[in-house]
Structure 1
């Protein structure tokens, strides 16, 4: 029996299998990225950061260790329940929909590692940027770290099998109807599971249109976690700084 839910991100991210599949992500690279980012933005010592779509809180925890007051929000109740064990007086986690403005303002709002473009209703992408604008204080900066769609589509691997903790994850990828889609199927204890990841294939032009409509200003663009210049065809990332 295949397991599936309507909102893929609300179901897939809430399973332990999501975290198993991606357990080998390079978090040291992610931490160096955050080091580079807070230095570039000159976030004040003890400043406040909102981590949108924080998952289990690994990056929020690291930012807090750097000395920042961090709030992590995510739609996944299970991820937030896990993250709450790490809370302290300058680190908190909450279940919250990032399309709705959080009722505080911050020195920086981070949306990291392609945690954007999931929504079936494209209006939600605009609502998220509007919410980020409302969450920034007068000197704050918003950051969206997204995939570079041109690079991803050019290097897309149509199918592979990734084995983690004895589970064979069968992955199929395609571009369809303006989305980059990955179908994931696997069997655990003789039960078959099927999930799908769908991310809107947003280009820099698409983001510029969203920023214009939201009334925010794009200040800088980088193409990787070392904050090198963005190249439309060759950069792996599309990292946008705005306010």
Structure 2
């Protein structure tokens, strides 16, 4: 599907489409996850593909040193407008396949389906492979992804909504193991179109590939509230891996 993410995440409308995701949801989710990690204050964590920075800012407010990066200049600009650079919160622009991170990282947060964008398995698993050696011996990797089984069984073909005066039409289909969303944003006579394309990895595929790198899965959840993962009923697949 090419570099669809460069166009879509550069659009000012991306945050309008996902305006229902807010900081309260993110704070509750991270609080739940951190209860299970026993992470000491002052630890260093990475928010990979951080978007507009809501998770990075919350992690920083909990007392952690946070390195947050994203490829999108638009989303990073929004993050800096909202939160700024702080003593223990660093935003920078980077490609997830080529992380500019040094050793000594206590944990990686790879959240909100910021995984599976690329055309090949090699590219998609390149980041967890590269950061494995950068993690401390007890380091962790939190992956928040789609539950591919649920998506395949419950795909909503089309949905519409209006946000900030723009009509947003989203159509979805599954092609060659990828869920493809076409997004149309309509305002007066103007129509803008974008694409999202995510590889639908199953839990078994993700677990197997992470274990081949050296990780061990220690917990799996099916929602941002911490519900038990159910292969057929859970919308999310949230896995905590340890080095």
> Within 1, Cα distance between the matches of 2:22 and 2:141?
23
The residue number in structure 2 matching 1:33 is 29
**Contact residue 49 and residue 71 of structure 1 kept, 8 A:** yes
CA contact (8 A) 1:98 1:131 kept: no
Deviation at 1:134, TM superposition (A): 2.7
**Structure 2 residue aligned with 1:196:** 195
2:15 is equivalent to residue 8 of structure 1: no
Paired position in structure 2 for 1:73: 69
Structure 2 counterpart of 1:52: 48
1:122 aligns with 2:158: no
**Alignment partner, residue 96 of structure 1:** 94
1:109 match: 108
Secondary structure at 2:215's aligned position in 1? Answer: coil
SS in 2 for 1:221: strand
C-alpha distance in 1 between matches for 2:99 and 2:12: 28
1:168-189 Cα offsets, whole Å, 9 max, x none, are 1111111111001111112345
Q: Is the 8 A contact 1:110 1:142 kept in 2?
A: yes
Extract unaligned runs of 5+ from structure 1: none
CA RMSD of aligned residues (A): 1.7
Unaligned regions of 5+ residues in structure 2, if any? none
Distance 2:194 2:42 in 1: 40
Cα separation, partners in 2 of 1:12 and 1:87, compared to 1, 3 Å: same
Structure 1's consecutive aligned runs of 4 or more residues displaced over 4 angstroms after TM superposition are none
What displacement does 1:102 show?
3.1
* 2: CA distance, partners of 1:94 / 1:204: 30
Q: TM-score, normalised by structure 1?
A: 0.92
In the alignment, what sits opposite 2:78?
A: 82
Alpha-carbon shift at residue 238 of structure 1 (Å): 0.9
In the aligned structure 1, how far is the partner of 2:131 from the partner of 2:34? 17
Normalised by the length of structure 2, the TM-score is 0.92
**Structure 1 residues 9-18 or 23-32, which shifts more?**
23-32
Question: Aligned equivalents of 2:98 and 2:65: distance in 1?
Answer: 21
Q: CA deviation at 1:67?
A: 1.1
Give the whole-Å Cα distance in 1 for the aligned partners of 2:110 and 2:134.
12
Structure 1 Cα separation of the partners of residues 218 and 131 of structure 2: 15
Residues 174 and 180 in structure 1, CA contact (< 8 A), matched pair in contact too: yes
Match of 2:217 in 1: 218
Secondary structure (helix, strand or coil) at the match of 1:16 reads: coil
Counterpart residue number, 1:169: 168
For residues 3-40 of structure 1, the C-alpha deviation after alignment (integer angstroms, 9 at most, x for no partner) is xx941111101110111111122431221010111121
The CA deviation string for residues 83-121 of structure 1, in whole angstroms up to 9 with x for no partner, is 234211100101111122332231110001111001123
